[in-house]
Amino acid sequence: MPSTEPVPTPAEELPAAGEAAPDVIAEAPAAALAEPATPAPKPAELSPAACAQQLKQRFPALFSGAPKPIKLRVQIDIQARAPGVFTKNALSAFFRRYTGSTSYLMAVANGKQRFDLDGQPQGDISDEHRQIAADELTRRRTNHAAAQTASREAEELQEQKRRNRAGLLYDYERTTLTRANFCVLKGVAEAELDGFLAIAREEAAQPRGPDVRGPRDARDGRDARDTRDARGPQGPRPERGGRDNRGPAPAHSQRKPRPASGG
């Protein structure tokens, strides 16, 4: 006759709270009981300058000395050779600056081969990449020349304005015209005259270089330094005249009478 006792459920088979279950623990795999692995620390974000220093120390054959054309996808090689040292962002920021420098563009435009981390040739530079580098160098030279020209023209314009203000001040201090008539003559608004004169007085008080001429000397083409006697502190030369003005002649310069020639 079958037993009428109830079959225990899985909950009833579990040990009471606080009791150990040695059979279950013994059969559990070791990996399930181990502590979760701590993730590896992320590499520190390096500035482009710090990244350049690290690359130069680790791969001097490529990053020391004059720039060399770098092989394509070199960042993969760097991460494989120096794992956990450089972040992707740090390398990207460094290479944007490095490959955008004028010296690197010149190396690409004039080079034939690319180089790996050990300084060994790794593929030719394509004509397209050489042309891109050459075009960028041309653009930079053009912009540099235009900037120099604009800067020189701006300096010349400022110097001309300074001379105009100096001439205005010089004429204003000597004019016999009324203020209104003087402004009309000079083509200056009367409300702006005092401002121009104040700037001119400040500029006149500043030390000036040896080649800067004053308003009067600029008109007649002479430098103010040339208005003094060119002979210096010795004073004027004595007037040319007889020997009395020059004093007695030295003895060696007095001529002796020549003897008469014999017959």
pLDDT digits over 68-110, tens only?
999 999 999 999 999 999 999 999 999 999 999 999 999 999 9
Tens digits of residue pLDDT in 202-249: 999 988 766 545 444 444 444 444 444 444 445 455 555 545 545 555
* Cβ atoms of 119 and 61 closer than 8 Å: yes
What is residue 38's predicted lDDT score, i.e. its pLDDT? 59
Query: Is a pLDDT exceeding 80 seen at residue 155?
Result: yes
Q: What is the mean pLDDT of residues 152-158?
A: 95
How far, in Å, are 107, 120, 122, 245 from residue 110 at the CA level? 5, 18, 16, 78
Q: Which amino acid is at 247?
A: G
What is residue 230's predicted lDDT score, i.e. its pLDDT? 42
Query: Is a pLDDT exceeding 90 seen at residue 192?
Result: yes
* Cβ atoms of 113 and 69 closer than 8 Å: yes
Whole-angstrom distance, CA of residue 121 vs CA of residue 71: 8
- Lookup: tokens for 231: 């002979």
Q: Among candidates 48, 169, 62, which has minimal Cα distance to 100?
A: 48
Q: Where are the domains of the chain?
A: 48-125, 137-205
Looking at every residue in the chain, the average pLDDT score rounds to 78
What is residue 160's predicted lDDT score, i.e. its pLDDT? 95
Query: Is a pLDDT exceeding 70 seen at residue 60?
Result: yes
Pick the CATH number of 48-125 from 3.30.1330.40, 3.40.50.2000, 1.10.1710.10, 3.50.50.60: 1.10.1710.10
Q: What is the mean pLDDT of residues 103-128?
A: 96
Query: Is a pLDDT exceeding 90 seen at residue 145?
Result: yes
* Cβ atoms of 108 and 137 closer than 8 Å: no
How far, in Å, are 125, 141, 172, 212 from residue 131 at the CA level? 10, 15, 61, 47
